[in-house]
Amino acid sequence: MDSSIPCLEKLVDCFAALPGIGRKTASRLAYHLLAVDEQQAKEFSSAITEARQRIHHCPICQNFTDGQRCRICSDPGRDGSVICVVESPRDVAAIEKMQEFRGLYHVLHGLISPMDGIGPEQLYIKELIKRAGDPQVKELIMATNPTAEGESTAIYISKLVKPLGVKVTRLAYGMPVGGSLEYADEVTLFRALEGRSEI
């Protein structure tokens, strides 16, 4: 939908560059921002700038934080012997929502993916190995997504960490709770069967 107004097209482009937002939705959102009151549009613009200015990586776990260290790393009540390794800050938020895990995290900010030209050196793996060298650390839980990239990243890291005498575990594979056998793919079902436990 060509509006012939360059700065409007630019705004549509910005929205369209977001994941899962197509041209039509992008155009709807851009026109919406032109129609809302001035204050709301200003807030949006400065929310982006502020978030980018204030939020940086925690020097320990690489999660997003607006403080010196993130609130998890600076919480003395957390168990420093277990580190849960995840792909992104959103995964930390998902696990925290569960309110069951009391250990620390390490955010890789991506997965090894040769197809996309992402090698181990582009991720925060070096920092993780350094942390794993601390004698306090007893276990690394690999909580990367159960995809090909997630799997190979987990295996890559475990090979580097095991010589340090740290236990490396992986999230269990199986049926999603509330799911249906009928709709489960063969691989998931096979993993669920393989990992069966006594009732």
CA distance 86 to 95: 10
189 binds its own copies (CB under 8 A): no
Instruction: Describe the crossing of helices 148-161 and 125-132 by its angle, rounded to 10 degrees.
Output: 40
**Residues of span 70-109 touching its own copies by CB under 8 A:** 71, 88-90, 93-94, 96-97, 109
* Range in contact with its own copies (rule: CB under 8 A) among 22-30, 120-128, 145-153, 186-194: 22-30
Q: Smallest distance, Å, CB 142 to its own copies?
A: 21
Q: Which residues are 105's β-sheet partners?
A: 84
Q: What angle do CA 160, 165, 167 make, to 5 degrees?
A: 85
* Range in contact with its own copies (rule: CB under 8 A) among 58-66, 76-84, 146-154, 161-169: 58-66
CB 164: neighbour CB atoms within 10 A? 14
CB 43: neighbour CB atoms within 10 A? 13
**Residues of span 29-48 touching its own copies by CB under 8 A:** 29-35, 38, 40-48
Q: Smallest distance, Å, CB 153 to its own copies?
A: 17
SS3 per-residue string spanning 44-62 = HHHHHHHHHHHCEECCCCC
CA distance 10 to 33: 13
Nearer to its own copies, 24 or 126 (CB): 24
194 binds its own copies (CB under 8 A): no
* # residues contacting its own copies (CB under 8 A): 58
Which residues of the chain form contacts with its own copies (CB under 8 A)? 1-8, 10-11, 13-14, 17-21, 24-25, 27-35, 38, 40-52, 54-55, 64-66, 71, 88-90, 93-94, 96-97, 109, 182-183
